[in-house]
Amino acid sequence: MRTVFLALLLVVFTSCVGRGEITLTANVHAQPQLPQGPFVRTAEGVIIGVGQKAALLSRDEGQTWLEQTLFDQTKFEASGERALLRTKEGVILYAFLNRKELNFKWDDKKGGPQDGCRLPVYVMRSADDGKTWAAPVLLQEGWCGAVRQMIQLKSGRIVLVSQQAAANPGRHVTWIYVSDNLGQTWQKSDPIDFGGHGNYGSPVVGLSGATHGGGIEGTVLEKENGDLKLLLRVPHGYFHELTSRGGLKWGPGTPSILEASDSPGMMVRLASGRVALVWNQYREPSTRQGRREELSIAFSVNDGLTWTVPHVIARNPAPAGARESAHWLAYPYIFEPAPGQLWITTMQGSLRVALAETDFIAPSISPASALLAERSVRIIALGDSITKGARPNVAPTQIFTALLQTGLRAHGLRAEVHNVGIGGERTDQALERLTRDVISQRPDIVTVMYGTNDSWVDAGKKESRLTIEQFTDNLRLLVTRLAAANIRVVLMTEPRFGDKNPRNGLGEDPNVRLAPFMQRCRQVALEVKVSLVDHFEAWTRAETRGLHVQDWTTDGCHPNPVGHAELAPRVIAVVEPLVREILNSYSS
């Protein structure tokens, strides 16, 4: 999801903050009078922020700030990573790390955190909308590197994302705390512990030691269906995504399709219903350089399934030989002081800016006044888990959609590929979300690949989940609806199951059912005159040549990195001419 449009960045403000120069893009406005977030607004309209030693109150929309004593400053001092929430009932909750008790004792050779390693978490409450505060209450012992976000669910439950250092190997375990009585008492989730996974087992450019290993510094969102979505920072070039119903038990999680440097992001539901995400991407993804020198924003209308093309809103590139950390713009906070108006502040780099949501929600980063030659072709990949691709031992950068984007760019073509695959999905379910997840994103090209789930026979059943006629009609309708929206469509057959595949509910080799469905896919492509990529036929030919496509999968069904690398060139060969044609039309 990286956007290479830095040529379009318009310098409208440059300031020195003692850590290098910060350059803002168009429609991003400096607000140097703002303190660091987070912020909340009271019923009386007062905006409250928090600092190391006091609360900060503004009665003039952030122009000036007054201090309010919070706690005994001889005993408490808040770290820069903190979380603030005003509930719909008017209770304000403040979670912070107490630096007065900081005792950093970490030794990588001895397994990470040592006895006495402490940075505890405290929570404070104001039951009267910020007028008075109860004393801090200890929530979590040990070493916590960050608490950054607290949200209230539609049910009234409070959800706080925390973490705690664990040893052997040295890493961080994420904990989710929930409260059903407005922060008076808390329950602790099952641990979200990646063990060795997520640690720095090999050198990472710009990083040292294992003190940040694990899955850490999460940002959480309640989706429209009530599920929780958690994005965790991991050192692999993307966020790790987990889901939960209620916050106490979490699924195993998968790599997300969001490219991210080794830094936290923040997701916030806006008054418009959209979700905003602010985070860091690598300035140079191929070499993992500049991991916190650019801050980007993107928006989603479907709970983070798809995102608008990221806009780089602020840059502070480190000159050659300079200390990179002096140029960081990271650890962001988002606050919406009025509907559609956003404040974005960072702990690292002291960025303080405001922007309007409507200036950045378009799927294409190119403004109307930009040269057409700078426009990028937007491609969406629609499909099931084979399209989604990312799974244990298959990174987002290894799936065919990522390889498609890399391949097109390697040929000098400006293209953005967005993956909206959903595990277990059939064509009828794809039709239900087609407008929301695909057409509304205004893509130029959409690849469509279904059939594995449509043709599957469940245990206790005698027929496929959908009949072959239903599949055919659905596929035809998907294509015609996309074409009616002036979107070019590429139909793709699914890859063949390997010979050690899981048998279907009738004990059959699932290829027996999948093959005729894939023949219908070919027929639909001919009928409606769209391009076809025939993976099933290619993998079948490979089997007849004595190759074992089982070796191209993780489980006989889902491609592994080798399998995705086999799929990608076939897709590139069909998509590349379409991209060239579209780009030529922009400049003609």
| CATH number of the domain residue 434 falls in | 3.40.50.1110
Q: With contact defined as beta carbons under 8 Å apart, do 396 and 256 qualify? A: yes
pLDDT at 495: 98
Q: With contact defined as beta carbons under 8 Å apart, do 479 and 489 qualify? A: yes
Residue whose C-alpha is closest to residue 105's, from 93, 119, 115: 115
Residues 277 and 383 in one domain: no
Residues 419 and 353 in one domain: no
Residues 413 and 337 in one domain: no
pLDDT average, residue stretch 568-582: 97
The three-point CA angle 582-584-588 to 5° equals: 120
Residues 171 and 36 in one domain: yes
Domain boundary among the residues 359, 385, 414 is at: 359
Instruction: Report helix, strand or coil for 525.
Output: helix
Q: With contact defined as beta carbons under 8 Å apart, do 309 and 296 qualify? A: no
Residues 59 and 180 in one domain: yes
Residues 316 and 397 in one domain: no
DSSP for residue 261: -
Q: Is residue 528 part of a domain?
A: yes
SS3 content of the chain, % helix, strand, coil (to 5): 20, 30, 45
pLDDT at 111: 86
Q: Strands of 377-383's sheet, edge to edge?
A: 415-419, 377-383, 445-449, 488-493, 531-534
Residues 400, 242, 341, 86, Cα dihedral to 10°: 180
Which residues 6+ apart lie within 8 Å of 526 measured at CB? 532
Q: Is residue 13 part of a domain?
A: no
Question: Binning pLDDT at 50, 70 and 90, where does residue 436 land?
Answer: confident
Q: What single-letter amino acid sits at 323? A: R
Domain with 38, as residue range(s), is 28-359
Q: With contact defined as beta carbons under 8 Å apart, do 469 and 444 qualify? A: no
Domain boundary among the residues 297, 324, 359 is at: 359
Q: With contact defined as beta carbons under 8 Å apart, do 240 and 260 qualify? A: no
Residues 208 and 317 in one domain: yes
Instruction: Report helix, strand or coil for 579.
Output: helix
pLDDT at 564: 97
Residue with tokens 């099952």: 190
Residues 295 and 401 in one domain: no
pLDDT at 185: 98
Domain boundary among the residues 294, 328, 359 is at: 359
The pTM (predicted TM-score) of the whole model is 0.75
pLDDT at 390: 82
Q: Is residue 316 part of a domain?
A: yes
pLDDT at 588: 62
Question: Binning pLDDT at 50, 70 and 90, where does residue 214 land?
Answer: confident
How far apart are the C-alpha atoms of 288 and 262, rounded to whole Å?
9
pLDDT at 333: 98
Q: Is 88 left (phi over 0), alpha (psi -120 to 50) or beta?
A: alpha
Residues 75 and 119 in one domain: yes
| CATH number of the domain residue 316 falls in | 2.120.10.10
Residues 503 and 442 in one domain: yes
Q: Which residues pair with 22 in a beta bridge?
A: 15
Residues 101 and 236 in one domain: yes
pLDDT average, residue stretch 360-376: 49
Instruction: Report helix, strand or coil for 52.
Output: coil
Instruction: List the beta strands (DSSP E) in 301-434.
Output: 311-315, 330-338, 341-348, 352-356, 377-383, 415-419
Residues 224 and 262 in one domain: yes
Q: With contact defined as beta carbons under 8 Å apart, do 557 and 505 qualify? A: no
Q: With contact defined as beta carbons under 8 Å apart, do 66 and 54 qualify? A: no
Total number of domains constituting the chain: 2
